[in-house]
Homo-oligomer: A and B are copies of this chain.
Amino acid sequence: MRIGELATSTGVSVRALRYYEEQSLLIPERSGGGQRQYGDKAVDRVQLIQTLYAAGLSSRTILDLLPCVDAQVNTPQSRALLNAERDRITHQIDQLVQVRDRLDAVISASEDPAGGCGYADEIPR
C-alpha cells in the first residue's frame, strides 16, 4: 500500500508517516519511481507507535523499544531498557494519580453543598 492509504487507514497524517521514517521507526520499501510501499503489518506498527507516543514516549525511546516489542530481542541491555521505561511510566502514572486525587479533593469540596467556599477541614454540624 502507498502512503496515503496507510495514512487514512491508521488515522495519522502523511507527514507523520514520513517523519516516522526519518526517525527510523518505520522504513518502507520503495517502488521503481521512488514511492513508499508499506506492507500490511505497517498498520499495526503505526498504531503501536501512536500508542507509545500517546503515552509520552519520545521517538528515541520508541526506537529503542521497538526491537524488543516486536522482534523479541532479548539482551541484557534490552531488558534493562525495558525495565527502565517501565519504571519511568509507573512514576508518571503515580504523578498523574497524585494530581487527579488533588483535583478530586477540590471537586468534592466544590460539590459539597456546605454553603459557599468551604475548606476541607470544615466540619458541618
Contact = CB atoms under 8 A, between A and B. Distances in A.
Contacts of A78: 110
Interface residues of A, number: 41
Contacts of A55: 95-96, 98-99
A110 B82 contact: yes
A79 interface: yes
B110 A100 contact: no
A56 B97 CA distance: 12
Given A89-B99, A96-B89, A110 B52 contact: no
Interface of A: 51-52, 54-57, 65, 68-69, 71-74, 78-79, 82-83, 85-86, 89-90, 92-93, 95-100, 102-104, 106-107, 109-111, 116-119
